Amino acid sequence: MTTCLVCAAVRWFHMCQPYDRNPKYYYPGRPFVTCAWLSSLVLVPYILFPESVDAWFLTRLYFLPVTLFHFILILFSYFGSVMQWKKWKGPTFVAGTLVVVALGIALVLAVIPGDQLADSALAEYALYILGILITGICIASMAIVMAWAGRFDPDDYSNPDDFPVRQARRWMAMIIANAVLCWTGALLDSPAALAVIMLLIAVGAVVFVITALHPNRSRSQEDEEPAHAEKGKKVYKRKISPARQAEILAAVITVVEEQEAFLDPHLTLQDVADRCGYGRTYISGLVKSELGGFVNYVNRLRLSYVDHYLKLNPGATLSEAIDAAGFGSRPAYYAIKGK
């Protein structure tokens, strides 16, 4: 509980600079993560009355369905916001209601004198049924996030800081490890075993908060073209005349270069398509064939802008120029410059 409270305080009060200027983008799941860790306060009855059957049941309930629900909440509050997918709130609310009701009943029973749940088979059934239900939702949540990561097209986004593919995979491993620990503690029904599991989960919480302090909104920077790239090129070449291709390309250049859309650090190919008024598929094919790909095209402009900015502003620092040019961070700038 102490570890969770410390992690909650760190998560809420600390944000790395300059990411603290835009917490909704860089830390979208921050309030939910903080609340999840603060919920460890429900373990107070077990701390005060470790011999109580009701307090022990409350603790087991916390480490099985409740902790697994926290993973669902963390995944969707972060990655759901990244993907601007709002439908996660409905099923998460339903699952959360079930968990909160069960936890509330167990908490009330734990603070009432006496052992109301002694030899209660119904409570055991409720614990495992709810655990199985929340585990299923957790697995579905992980599958959705990994599907997002798998479908993520490296050439749709102009910055290597817009979808945290590596973080998604890292979190999946941590969630699986914690889920195994939670189920082990519930099935063993042993205070000694759960004590060891609590220590391991506490270590996992510390590792998690350390990995989450930096936004880590990074994605794979390989320049490999997606499998559908060639199909996209054939489609636009087959259906669009050379004159039309030139018209679309001119519109792209107008938006990206003349209107300086490339200075937007979160510019996407879809943003450009919307501003040009043409389909994303056609624009993607043209940009790939004529301008070397969206990521390369936009970041070449940004690299040139950094040099231009420093010439116009002799007193400016490199960090200021990087920010002004639309790079998400210094590491992103150096990675792109190196490539």
212 vs 267, higher pLDDT: 267
pTM of the model: 0.62
- The answer to whether position 185 is within a domain reads yes
- The answer to whether position 223 is within a domain reads no
- The answer to whether position 219 is within a domain reads no
Q: Which distant-in-sequence residues (6+ apart) come within 8 Å of 286 by Cβ?
A: 236, 245, 248, 249, 252
Answer yes or no: is pLDDT of 217 > 90: no
Looking at the structure of the chain, the number of domains it has is: 2
Whether 208 and 140 map to the same domain: the answer is yes
Whether 267 and 321 map to the same domain: the answer is yes
Give the span between the Cα atoms of 312 and 26, in whole angstroms.
30
Whether 238 and 191 map to the same domain: the answer is no
Answer yes or no: is pLDDT of 136 > 90: yes
The confidence score (pLDDT) of residue 304 equals 93
Three-state secondary-structure class, residue 315 = coil
- The answer to whether position 218 is within a domain reads no
Whether 261 and 310 map to the same domain: the answer is yes
> pLDDT tens digits, residue range 19-60?
777 787 778 888 888 999 999 999 999 999 989 999 999 999
- The answer to whether position 224 is within a domain reads no
Whether 313 and 207 map to the same domain: the answer is no
Asked whether the CA dihedral 9, 13, 14, 20 is positive or negative, the reply is positive
- Residue ending a domain, choose from 213, 242, 265: 213
Among 204-208, 224-228, 297-301, the range scoring the smallest mean pLDDT is 224-228
Whether 186 and 266 map to the same domain: the answer is no
Whether 308 and 239 map to the same domain: the answer is yes
- Residue ending a domain, choose from 213, 248, 278: 213
- Residue 157 pairs in a beta bridge with 268
Range of the domain at 269: 229-338
- Residue ending a domain, choose from 213, 247, 279: 213
- The answer to whether position 298 is within a domain reads yes
- The answer to whether position 222 is within a domain reads no
Whether 204 and 240 map to the same domain: the answer is no
Query: Exposed, middle or buried: residue 214 (CB in 10 Å: 0-12, 13-18, 19+)?
Result: middle
- The answer to whether position 128 is within a domain reads yes
Whether 166 and 241 map to the same domain: the answer is no
Whether 166 and 306 map to the same domain: the answer is no
